[in-house]
Structure 1
Amino acid sequence: MKLQSIFDQTDFVHASGTKEELQVANYLKEQCEALGVPAKLEGFRVAMGEIEEAHLYADGMEISCKALTCCGSGSVEGELYYMPGTDPVSVAGAKDKIVLMDTQGIGFFAYQDLMKAGAKAILFQYGNSYYPHTDIDQRDLREAVVGEEKKVLCAMIHSAKAVELVKNKVKQIRLEIRQKEYDGESHNVIAELPGKREEWIVLSAHYDTTSLSHGAYDNMSGCAGLLGIMEQMKGKELNYGLRFVFCGSEERGLLGSKAYVRDHEKELRQTVLNINLDMIGTYMGKFIACVSAEEKLTHYISYMAAEVGFPIAAENGVYSSDSTPFADHGVPAVSFARIANGNVAPIHCRYDVKDVMSMEQLQKDIDFLTVFTRRFANAAVCPVAREIPETIRKQLDEYLFRKRKEA
């Protein structure tokens, strides 16, 4: 398998719920089958929005914006309120205001607080005031964030414009949005290498991108990793079966992996471990393992990596990727990643392209991950306890908005 061809064939934006995302799903299915491993697509619902019109006026002057999909339609007018923090005092000032935040999005509790405070609408900001490009990312108002609260109109503006609004002490904002909201479909791609036992190790990686990114680093690299492991493990006698899950719509809030654990809930009882790959194979960057399982696995990864001469930083925690829904359903999970500096290999922007990838480093990463996978697939008994430590459960509750993060 030529790794470079994977990036060449997927060198375009393929965001959640689009025909381009489906194109890449079918491509990955074909790559599995080319290796002699049957694969299938499993569809799941994603909320979609087609923006028909979006206008933002600051003291009567129109500025560029991108409406968030799934935030509703209509128009709203009010006083601008710049709110850099989400502390109670800051939130209290949002009543009847159109709030400008420093962030690119909003979490569950911050949104709930703003709705209870009476905010009329929310503006987010994207980009860098000093970069030559003035891209504005297309984001969505997620159902998991809205919860039982009402929707308010939301839009993204470029950071340079956000600075101007504050610098020029803009008073009045008018936001107009018209969009068509509908139920779309995304897909997981699933392939299997059976083992002797009726138990599985699930390997996962997401293949969707954000609206501006070609997603070479985040995360076609992880998908190439799964295909590389598959190629090296096929035809081998395994004790535990390997199930490969290429997840759709991770960038929309881990929707693919959430759909998988929901639709395969009974099978999770026979799943002993989740190995997740999210961003590997860059020229520069530190290789890490984030373990959502007992601490013994963290130590094992450190020891094994030292044994084979592969530098790694392993720690316990919850990773913002597709390993999280597995851990939340009681499956021990580990996410592997090569974390490069954002100035070297940025993500979620136009600069995430195949040029940041090193095929040599990617192959080294795949070789290490294959050794790790082989050891567990051939274990007489999977040594990792099927229990999630209390400290990890606490982090899962916070990450999945069941509990507020302690200050």
Structure 2
Amino acid sequence: MKALDRPRPAGSSAEREAARYIAKTIRTAGGEPETEPFPIWLCEQTAVLTVFGSDSKASVLHIPVRAYDRPVRQCGHPDMPMIMSMGQAAAREQTDDLGWSGESERLEAAGPLLYAEDGGPRALSMAKGCIVMLNQTVSSDLYRKLSEAGAVAYLTITGTPIDAGQDRLPARRRISRSEERTVPGATIHCQDASMLIEKMAADAPQKQSSLPGSSKKTRARLTVNGSIVQKSSQNVCASVSGKTDREGYVLLTAHYDSVPEGPGAYDNLAACSVLTELYRRFRLCPADREVRFAWLGSEEQGMLGSYAYVQRHESELLACLADINIDLAGQAIGSDVIGVTGSDSFVSEIRTFLEEYGSDAEVRQSVWSGDANTFAWKGVPALTYDRDGFGMHTCHDEQRFLSAWELGREADLIEAMVRNLAEREITASERELPEEMEQELKKLFLKY
């Protein structure tokens, strides 16, 4: 973990170096890893917010903001089927340092600033023609309401009044893939938002009962520039044969990329270290069936590594008994949650195992956030191990907050779970998703 304790965003040289290091570690343990490269398409964006007060040029402010991340449809590019079907060496040659970029996109909006708090109906009734500041992340439903209300742009307030240093920057937020976005959006730190609300109040004194920050004299312009760029990512795969020749295998997965803001020790380098430890253990003492391992790239951009994996290995997934995905691990203080994207009977089997093992981990049956979804979408019973913790998606997600004792404890639990699954048969009923869950997954992956 010390060797990789730095940001590893999707498609970056740091992510590639991490993949090489993981492969080297597997070779050191006596294995034969395979690196599977794949192309990804990302939207790189910048945002600029300029605020004009009632006294014109004397009060022009340039406020730091961050454009909402825009996920890109990965199957919408003509190069992808060609590259995905290539052999490993050829694909790597094609994707290591791609410089392709699409046409630039520019969204710009200008109008009065309006602080709409949580986006209630009264506040939105005043949103027409305004750049609207909101307390909460803009969901698909809230975006629709803003658009219908005539808002020309939106700003999500992030952070706390006591932030300093890197925490003082606007946080990362993502818009849904589900709709075409024509209204630009960005995040703004709460200290800047508070300053603007006070400025609006000073520009246009109002009654206490009025909405805060509803001055028509304080105007702003939000400009978001973006372009689609093609980069490369990669999965690192390895396997350990079972002690019998029984058909089927258990798959263990974890993503090794991070968000740009921090080194991603808790999310998710800790899980990668657990997978590496389990690889060593199963080589020394095999499970009843084969165990496969996949360290996945580019999860933070929308499960792109697992999407590439199931595209490449789809014909093999019928033999996969289950996917155990680890996403968030290693902090001593916390509680365990296991999200199961699977059938009622599979959930029941997991609960029975945990009870016999002596774990109080909470089991939730849902379409869980993370790579397990991708395998469930392809009919594989899937679960995600999460441990509550501190610092996710921030500069504070550092190795110093992790516990070697806790990592060992997690490895013990996952090892026991793998051995249990490898000994039993997964019935047809356990592979059948509840209809609502199946429809939710289909809707999610239509966006790819």
Shared fold, TM over 0.5: yes
1:214 aligns with 2:263: yes
Compared CA separation, residues 315 and 98, structure 1 to 2 (3 A): same
State the match for 1:55 in structure 2.
48
**Residue number among 345, 356, 368 corresponding to 2:401 in the alignment:** 356
Q: Residue in 1 aligned with 2:130? A: 97
Aligned pairs for 1:1-400 (under 5 A) are 7-50=1-44, 54-59=47-52, 60-68=60-68, 72-73=105-106, 75-85=108-118, 94-103=127-136, 105-112=137-144, 114-115=146-147, 118-133=150-165, 134-136=167-169, 139=172, 145-147=176-178, 149-169=180-200, 171-195=218-242, 196-340=245-389, 345-379=390-424, 381-383=425-427, 385-393=430-438, 396=441, 400=444
How far apart, CA to CA, are the structure 1 residues paired with 2:240 and 2:145? 47
Seen in structure 2, the aligned counterparts of structure 1 residues 385 and 97 have a Cα distance that, compared at 3 Å, is: same
Q: 1:358 to 1:110 in 2, by over 3 A?
A: same
Structure 1: 5+ residue stretches without partners: 1-6
- Give the distance between the partners of 1:91 and 1:330, measured in 2 at CA: 42
The structural deviation recorded for 1:62 is 1.4
3-state secondary structure, aligned to 1:161: helix
Measured after TM superposition, the shift of residue 58 of structure 1 is 1.8
| Structure 2 Cα separation of the partners of residues 30 and 128 of structure 1 | 41
CA RMSD across the alignment: 3.0
Instruction: Please report the TM-score for the alignment, with normalisation by the length of structure 1.
Output: 0.84
Shift of residue 140, structure 1, vs aligned partner: 7.0
SS in 1 for 2:333: coil
Q: Which amino acid letter does the alignment assign opposite residue 226 of structure 1?
A: L
Separation of aligned partners in 2, 1:66 and 1:31: 37
Q: Mean alpha-carbon deviation: is it higher for 40-49 or for 215-224?
A: 40-49
SS in 2 for 1:212: coil
Per-residue deviation, 1:84: 4.0
What is the match of residue 85 of structure 2?
Answer: none
- Provide the C-alpha distance between the structure 1 equivalents of 2:154 and 2:122, rounded to a whole number of angstroms: 17
Q: Take 2:414 and 2:148, find their aligned partners in 1: how far apart are those partners?
A: 47
Structure 1 residue matching 2:394: 3-state secondary structure: coil
Question: d(CA) in 2 for partners of 1:44 and 1:113?
Answer: 37
SS at match of 1:252: coil
The letter of the residue matching 1:382 is I
Hey, what's the Cα distance between the residues in 1 that align with 2:433 and 2:119?
31
User: Shift of residue 313 of structure 1?
Assistant: 2.0
| Alignment partners' CA distance in 2, 1:211 and 1:137 | 13
Q: Which one-letter code corresponds to 2:17 in the other structure? A: Q
**Against the structure 1 CA distance between its residues 298 and 45, is the aligned structure 2 distance closer, same or farther, given a 3 Å change threshold?**
same
Q: Distance in 2 between matches of 1:208 and 1:137?
A: 21
Aligned equivalents of 1:88 and 1:193: distance in 2? 58
Could you tell me how far apart the structure 1 residues matched to 2:343 and 2:113 are? Answer: 48
Task: Indicate conservation of the 8 Å contact 1:108/1:401, yes or no.
Answer: no
Distance 2:331 2:436 in 1: 31
- Code of the aligned partner of 1:57: T
Q: Measured at CA, do residues 360 and 146 of structure 1 come closer, stay the same or move farther in structure 2, by a change above 3 Å?
A: closer
Letter in 2 for 1:102: N
How far residue 198 of structure 1 moved from its aligned partner, in angstroms, is 4.7
Distance 1:397 1:115 in 2: 26
Deviation of 1:165 (Å): 2.5
Report the Cα distance in structure 2 between the residues aligned to 1:9 and 1:81, rounded to whole angstroms: 47
User: What is the CA distance between 1:233 and its match in structure 2?
Assistant: 0.8
* SS of aligned partner of 1:267: helix
| Partner secondary structure for residue 376 of structure 1 | helix
1:58-101, Cα deviation, whole Å (9 max, x unpaired): 22311122334659335431222334446777666544332323
Residue 3 of structure 1: aligned partner? none
How far does residue 372 in structure 1 lie from its aligned partner after superposition?
A: 0.9
**Identity of aligned pairs, percent?**
28
Structure 1 CA distance for aligned equivalents of residues 393 and 281 of structure 2: 31
- Aligned pair count? 387
Any conservation in 1 of the 2:159–2:171 contact (CA below 8 Å)?
no
Shift of 1:154: 3.0
Unaligned runs of 5+ in 2: 53-59, 71-103, 201-212
Contact 2:346 2:430 in 1 (8 A): no
Question: In 2, distance between residues paired with 1:368 and 1:80?
Answer: 52
Letter in 1 for 2:221: R
- Distance in structure 2 (CA, Å) of the matches to 1:43 and 1:108: 32
Q: Give the C-alpha shift of residue 19 in structure 1.
A: 1.4
Alpha-carbon distance between aligned partners in 2 of 1:311 and 1:112, rounded to the nearest angstrom: 41
TM-score (norm 2): 0.77
Deviation at 1:46, TM superposition (A): 2.9
